[in-house]
């Protein structure tokens, strides 16, 4: 089984990218973020033709998440139960016996801003939700755009980014709280190239100069970890025409 996450930064613009990537990778699950598509406009037909079942939770202009799966999706939950968040950022479903939680963590804009406070509060709600889900599902994966670079090795220039948004200690503490629930960062279970990033700024020729961050992650429960055989970032789609600023991350299981 292969599961993946990809912040597409508008599914309308990136639909062809998703279909093309699917043809060469044939993953079982794709968690999408920033679909920026209302549910009435979700490209059901094209993705059905591509072989997917799907669940989506979108809104106008901003945010929006979706889960594409080869198998059937069941027990779908939209958002974080008990947390009345107008921003649509979380979608949960069970696929092939694995609980899949697709997350688009708020960006936070700048340390100390209102959006930063929202991000930290939001992460608190997410942590409590995942704790509950873990109690009910031994095979669980949280995939998505976490908007947190967990460690300095995930940052192209740690000195420049020190204490900044995506790298601040309170954000990293929240990430480590999630890990503390009994989750593993699948990417770090394996040897990886140095300077492994999943996002590069559109500005300043970020990709060409490899000025990236690793902020898209796949966190897996202990039971899934036992069968995890690999995890990698696929940089190829970032080289295509009109790319998303994020690349897919894939984890494989025996």
Binding site for DNA (CB under 7 A): 7, 9-10, 12-13, 34, 36, 38, 60-62, 106-107, 109-110, 115, 145, 147, 165-166, 199, 201-205, 209, 213, 215, 242, 245-246
Residue 103 or 231 with smaller CB distance to DNA = 103
Name the catalytic one among 145, 154, 185, 245.
145
**Residue matched to tokens 């990136």:** 14
* Shortest distance in whole angstroms from residue 169 CB to DNA: 17
Cα–chain-centroid distance for residue 26?
18
**Residue matched to tokens 């991000």:** 119
How many angstroms separate the CA atoms of 10 and 64, rounded?
Answer: 9
* Shortest distance in whole angstroms from residue 65 CB to DNA: 12
* Shortest distance in whole angstroms from residue 253 CB to DNA: 27
Name the catalytic one among 104, 116, 154, 216.
104
* Shortest distance in whole angstroms from residue 236 CB to DNA: 17
For residue 222, the tally of other CB atoms under 10 A from its CB is 13
How many angstroms separate the CA atoms of 89 and 63, rounded?
Answer: 6
How many angstroms separate the CA atoms of 46 and 104, rounded?
Answer: 23
How many angstroms separate the CA atoms of 203 and 205, rounded?
Answer: 5
Find the DSSP H helices in the chain: 11-25, 44-49, 114-136, 158-161, 169-180, 222-225
Strands of the sheet with 183-185, listed across from one edge: 74-78, 90-95, 98-104, 140-145, 216-221, 183-185
**Residue matched to tokens 């690793």:** 214
Give the residue among 101, 51, 50, 104 at the shortest CA–CA distance from 75. Answer: 101
Residue 18 or 95 with smaller CB distance to DNA = 18
- The yes-or-no answer on residue 202 being catalytic is no
* Shortest distance in whole angstroms from residue 71 CB to DNA: 28
- The yes-or-no answer on residue 83 being catalytic is no
Residue 36 or 137 with smaller CB distance to DNA = 36
Residue 109 or 132 with smaller CB distance to DNA = 109
Residue 52 or 146 with smaller CB distance to DNA = 146
Hey, what are 125's tokens? 């709600």
Residues catalogued as catalytic: 104, 145
């Amino acid at each position: 089984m292969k599961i993946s996450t990809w912040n597409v930064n508008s599914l309308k613009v990136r639909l062809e990218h998703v279909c093309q990537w699917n043809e060469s990778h044939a993953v079982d699950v794709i968690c999408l973020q920033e679909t920026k598509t209302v549910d009435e406009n979700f490209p059901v037909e094209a993705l059905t033709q591509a072989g997917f079942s799907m669940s989506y939770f979108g809104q106008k202009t901003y945010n929006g998440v979706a889960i594409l799966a080869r198998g059937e999706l069941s027990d779908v939950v939209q958002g974080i139960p008990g947390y009345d968040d107008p921003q649509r950022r979380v979608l949960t479903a069970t696929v092939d016996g694995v609980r899949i939680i697709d997350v688009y963590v708020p960006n936070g804009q700048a340390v100390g801003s209102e959006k930063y406070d929202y991000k930290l509060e939001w992460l608190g709600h997410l942590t409590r939700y995942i704790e509950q889900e873990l109690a009910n599902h031994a095979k669980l994966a949280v995939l998505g755009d976490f908007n947190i670079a967990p460690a300095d090795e995930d940052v192209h220039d740690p000195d420049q980014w020190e204490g900044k948004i995506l790298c601040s200690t309170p954000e990293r503490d929240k990430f480590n709280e999630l890990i503390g629930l009994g989750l593993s960062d699948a990417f770090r279970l394996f040897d990886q190239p140095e300077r492994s990033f999943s996002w590069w700024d559109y500005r300043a020729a970020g990709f060409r100069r490899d000025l990236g961050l690793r902020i898209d992650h796949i966190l897996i429960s202990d039971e899934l970890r036992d069968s995890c055989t690999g995890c990698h970032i696929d940089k190829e789609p970032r080289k295509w025409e009109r790319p998303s600023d994020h690349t897919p991350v894939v984890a494989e299981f025996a």
